[in-house]
Structure 1
Amino acid sequence: MGIQKEALFSVRESKPRYSMKLLLMAIPFITLVFIFYYVPLFGWVYAFFDYKPGIPLEQSNFVGLKYFKIAFMEQGSDLLRVLENSIALSLLNILVSPLYVVFAILLNEMRGKYFRKWVQTTTTLPNFISWVLVYSVFYVFFSVSDGVVNKVLVQIHLLELPFNFLGDSGIAWYFQTIVGLWKGLGWGAIIYLAAIAGIDPELYEAAKVDGAGRFRTIWSITVPGIMPTFVVLLLLNVSNMLNNGFEQFYVFYNALVADKLEVIDYYVYKVGLQSNDFSYSTVLGMFKTVVSVVILFTVNWIARRVRGESII
Structure 2
Amino acid sequence: MRAKLQQADGIAYRSSTSSIWRYMWKYKALYLITLPGIVYYLIFKYIPLGASFIAFKDYNIFKGVWGSPWVGLEHFERMFRHADFLRIFKNTVIIGGLDILFAFPAPIILALLLNEVRIVMYKRIVQTVIYMPHFLSWVIISGIAVGILSPSTGVVNQFLGWLGIEPIYFLGENSYIRTILITSGIWKEVGWGTIIYLAALAGINPDLYEAAEIDGANRWKQTLAITVPSILPTIVILFLLKIGDFLDFGFERVWVFLNPLTYENGEILDTYIYRAGLLQQEYSFTTAVGMFKSIIGLTLLVLANKLSRKATGESLF
**Residue 152 in structure 1 maps to residue 159 in structure 2:** yes
Which residue is equivalent to 1:90? 96
Q: CA deviation at 1:15?
A: 6.8
Quick check: 126-135 or 287-296, which moved more? 287-296
> Hey, what does 1:65 align to over in structure 2?
73
Using the TM superposition, give the Cα deviation of residue 190 of structure 1 relative to its aligned residue in structure 2, in angstroms.
Answer: 1.1
Give the counterpart of 1:250 among 246, 249, 255.
255
Q: Does 1:78 align with 2:80?
A: no
Counterpart for residue 313 of structure 2:
308
Q: For residues 118 and 54 of structure 1, what CA distance do their matches in structure 2 show?
A: 57
Q: Measure, in 2, the Cα distance between the counterparts of 1:52 and 1:86.
A: 29
Give the 3-state SS of the residue equivalent to 1:38 in structure 2: helix
Contact 1:124 1:187 in 2 (8 A): yes
Deviations 1:240-272 (A, max 9, x none): 211101111110001111121211111111111
Amino acid at match of 1:216: K
Partner of 2:11: none
Aligned residue number for residue 52 of structure 2: 44
Would you say 1:129 and 2:129 are equivalent positions? no
Cα distance between partner residues in 2 of 1:156 and 1:101: 34
Give the TM-score normalised by structure 1: 0.87
**Which of 212, 235, 253 is matched with 1:207 structurally?**
212
Give the total of aligned pairs: 296
Aligned to 2:18: 17
Give the match's secondary structure for 1:190.
helix
> Is 1:70–1:77's contact at 8 Å kept on the other side of the alignment?
no
Identity score, percent: 38
- Quote how far apart the aligned CAs of 1:154 are: 0.4
Say whether residues 1:198 and 2:189 are aligned partners: no
| 1:22-47 Cα shifts (integer Å, max 9, x gaps) | 46866956666444422211211222
Contact conserved, 1:145 with 1:162, CA < 8 A, in 2? yes
TM-score by structure 2 length? Answer: 0.86
Find the counterpart in structure 2 of residue 231 from structure 1.
236
**C-alpha contact 1:303 1:311 (8 A) present in aligned 2:** no
Partner of 2:111: 104
In the superposition, relative to structure 1, how do residues 225 and 59 fare at CA in structure 2: closer, same or farther (>3 Å)? Answer: closer
Unaligned residue ranges in structure 1 (runs of 5+)? 1-12
| Aligned with 2:124 (options 117, 129, 151) | 117
Distance 1:113 1:15, change over 3 A: farther
SS at structure 2 position matched to 1:166:
helix
Secondary structure at the residue paired with 2:175? Answer: coil
> What is the root-mean-square deviation in Å for CA atoms of aligned residues?
2.3
Shift of 1:14: 7.5
In 2: Cα distance, 1:251 partner to 1:67 partner: 28
